[in-house]
Amino acid sequence: MNQGLVAIVGRPNVGKSTLFNRLTKTNNAIIHNRPGVTRDRLYGTVTSVDEDGSGYSIIDTGGFETKDLYYQPFAKNIVWEQTEMAIEEADVVLMVLDAKAGLHPHDRELVQYLHKLEKRVIYVANKVDGQEQTPAMWEFYELGLDHIYNCSAAHNRGVWDLACAIEDELEKVNGTKLQLDHDGATKIALIGRPNAGKSSILNRLCGENRSLVSDVAGTTRDTIDTVISYNKKPYVLLDTAGVRRRKKISDKLEGLMVIKSLRAIEDADIVVIVITADEGMSDQDARLASLAADKYKPVLIVVNKWDLIPNKDSNTAREYELDLREKLADISYFPVLFTSCLENKRIHKILQEVEALATAYDKRVPTARLNEVLERAVHEHTPALIRKLNKRVKFYYATQVRTMPPTIVVKCNVAGEIQESYKRYLTKRFRKDLEFGKTPLRVLFRGKKEEKEFKAQS
């Protein structure tokens, strides 16, 4: 399974956002010919070219201001600050060059910067719309690069080869990553907006003043992962509150936190998203929860600072949770826990919920039981007729092929014709009837040939 974080970097208007849209198969990035349109980072998930349900996270950084770079190389402006963080956290950097414009002095500056960091970098010349651009493309080899991929993101040419190259580099990263001394421990990422109470929760769980705590958003310094024990099981708390307090970045802190959070989601086994009761779940929080679900990571929503809600009664928490689940929509199965660090209420239940999620995440179900549930689900709700084929989907059997995440392969006759609504129905039935609880469940539908290919890749 491909996992990792990829950052797209380059000068303004070289086609980074168009390439981002192609790789993620979305239109989330705003595309405009005017340089500097992408002021903040966009982030999304890229599905593996093998279409086996795996994928990786990707960040579209803003094009750093060339005038700032020229007069003050890599100046601490808002765009470069976030680009620098994205490069630092990424497993692979995708540097985009403009084949129409040719080599620019600032391309050279960025290449030199990346060389110093010794990052895995893939270089791609974009806007290769015809043979007339070839002479300009050769200018890039003055940079001493071994290989440059050519593509036209606007016309979707060369993007497939580039996507395969990215996955190859991620496989190398995943194959050479050093294992921590606490192998076997469940890794928990605490993510959320600045001043949501992540450090206070961490301190309560660890029983010590491990992180700097303040009312000023963003006062947590460099991260130090902490190993704790709960019910004789080891857990590693990944303190993602740790954004370095650099000068003059208060207005950029939340943007930097997103990059840290993406890195944490990739590294963690279980994600804990901390929100505050008075402010609720922001669009960014919901987006991070969705990204975690896309990576099939279990998520616990912690509503901290519950003490700030006045005039609570027996229905307050239930109504709050219903509103929260409505915002989460398709991922509303995530567990929700109300806490107060100030009053030290229900903090201990965080590890209880994490343990339950970890157990469900590693659960394996016998094939016979799986097929009982499949047969009953299909009997109670028969799939619709496929009009163009004049036939119905026939399900032969289901089997669980892996855990973490629990992955079920369903064998059928015409996998590509199953309606998405029916896929969601079967996934919900598997989760409910097989008691997978509140953990993500991956269900893949395969024909005979597809199933053999999947097993060969597993």
Tens digit of pLDDT for each residue in 96-109?
Answer: 999 988 898 889 98
160 is in an annotated binding site: no
**What's the confidence (pLDDT) of residue 388?**
79
- Predicted confidence at residue 258, as pLDDT, reads 75
State yes or no: 183 annotated in a binding site: no
- The answer to whether 304 is a known ligand-binding residue is yes
What are the residues facing 123 on neighbouring strands? 95
Average pLDDT, the chain: 81
Residues 383 and 285 in one domain: no
In the numeric block, which tokens belong to residue 418?
A: 């199953």
Query: Do 93 and 215 belong together in one domain?
Result: no
Torsion of CA 126, 1, 284, 163, to 10 degrees: 10
Q: Are residues 159 and 212 in the same domain?
A: no
Task: Tell the residue number behind the tokens 């990829």, with chain if given.
Answer: 6
Instruction: Tell me if the bond preceding 335 is cis, omega within 30° of 0.
Output: no
Residue 218's pLDDT band, with cuts at 50, 70 and 90, is very low
Domain span holding position 41: 5-176
Q: Is residue 52 part of a domain?
A: yes
Residue 181, domain member (yes or no): no
Is 36 annotated in some ligand binding site? no
pLDDT digits (tens, 9 = 90+) for 327-343: 998 888 999 999 999 99
pLDDT in tens, 261-274: 888 888 899 999 99
Q: Tokens representing 131? A: 């043979």
- Model pTM? 0.70
Give per-residue pLDDT as tens, 164-185: 999 999 988 876 543 434 457 8
Give the separation between CA 407 and CA 444, rounded to whole angstroms.
8
Domain co-membership, 270 together with 321:
yes
Mean pLDDT of 352-378: 95
Residue partners of 396: CB distance under 8 A and separation at least 6: 411, 412, 413
Residue 357 pLDDT > 70: yes
pLDDT at 451 over 70: no
Number of Cβ atoms within 10 Å of the Cβ of 227: 13
Rounded CA-CA distance 57/258 in Å is: 12
d(CA 424, CA 428): 6
Nearest to 366 by CA among 398, 412, 394, 410: 398
In a domain? residue 98: yes
Establish whether 437 is an annotated binding residue. no
Instruction: Establish whether 128 is an annotated binding residue.
Output: yes
pLDDT tops 60 at residue 221: no
CA proximity to 280, closest of 338, 344, 205: 338
Of the candidates 361, 392, 408, which is a domain's last residue? 361
* Cα–Cα dist 206/236, whole Å: 11
Answer yes or no: is 251 a known binding residue.
no
15 marked as binding residue: yes
Listed range (79-93, 190-204, 239-253, 294-308) with the worst mean pLDDT: 239-253
Domain stops at, among 149, 176, 203: 176
CATH code, domain carrying 450: 3.30.300.20
Does residue 194 have a known ligand-binding role?
yes
Q: Is 127 marked as a binding-site residue? A: yes
Establish whether 429 is an annotated binding residue. no
Rg value, the chain, Cα: 24
Q: Would you say 195 is a known binding-site residue? A: yes
Establish if 406 belongs to a structural domain. yes
Domain membership of residue 77 (yes or no) is yes
Residue 241 labeled ligand binder: yes
